[in-house]
Amino acid sequence: MTHRPSQKVSAERRQSNVFNEERSLAMEHIYPMKHKRKNIVYIINNFIFGHGERKGSVVDEESLTKTFTNLSFDVQSFQNKTRADMVNLLENVSRDIHKDTDCFVCVILTHGEEDMVHGTDGPVEVTKLLAPFKGDRCPALAGKPKLFFIQACRGKQFDDGADALSVKNDGPEDDEDEMDVKDETVTFRIPRNADFLVAYASVRGFYAWRNEKDGSWFIQALCKVLEEHGQTLDLMTMLTRVNHTVAFDYSSKGKIKEKKQIPCITSMLTKDVFFRKT
């Protein structure tokens, strides 16, 4: 049977309409990244404390700067801030951030405990650092991803690990390891706490490990995965790969041997995050 030209054109049009509809539905579940303005990364690196230096943290800062710059972020770094400084920095950027910014990232490198991170003069609650970016306080980022990555201990427990079948552990040989988130304007209501993600280096109650020469396990794994897949995979998939890397490729050496670590992701995201232009 021979198709007439009009029938062929009609079939192609229907196929195109189906494709466009499927693409439109898929895009509804992805945060827009139009890149009208460079997205922002704040790195707060507290490494000088009265009881000593967090060696290796500068390596993390350098790795993060390189990685996020390659992903077309505007990276701004701050060192050795008090808890009041940390709060003020984030309150200021939440007020000043431009409405054309698609995404905000904050990385905190410091000491910590459970639900707190340390300024150079003492602890501050993580929730206090997130609060300025809630939808009712930062309209420019309402409905947009706010991503926090925290390299800090969350307690004093060690993870001794557990035996599992077919698990290969050939982590890097290293020196002494240390312990340590057509334009149309449409208004709609969202939860104030929506669109946050907080990725911790370890689960609550446990140490987060850092190497004096090579940096922390979590941050180095994060940078490696972002460098390899930042233009292709969504964030949650990448963070799962970060978890895998930290869990299977690292093990403590030095004085306290064969301890393990698993990062912890708390997500209030409502869509997929891709760092490429969408």
Q: Considering only CA atoms, which of 226, 258, 272, 232 is closest in space to residue 245?
A: 226
Which residues, including other chains, have CB under 8 Å from residue 160's CB and lie 6 or more apart? 258, 259, 260
Catalytic residue among 111, 118, 138, 223: 111
Q: 111 catalytic, yes or no?
A: yes
Catalytic residue among 103, 106, 153, 223: 153
CA distance 206 to 158: 6
Q: 153 catalytic, yes or no?
A: yes
The answer to whether 261 and 218 have CB atoms below 8 angstroms apart is yes
Active site residues: 111, 153
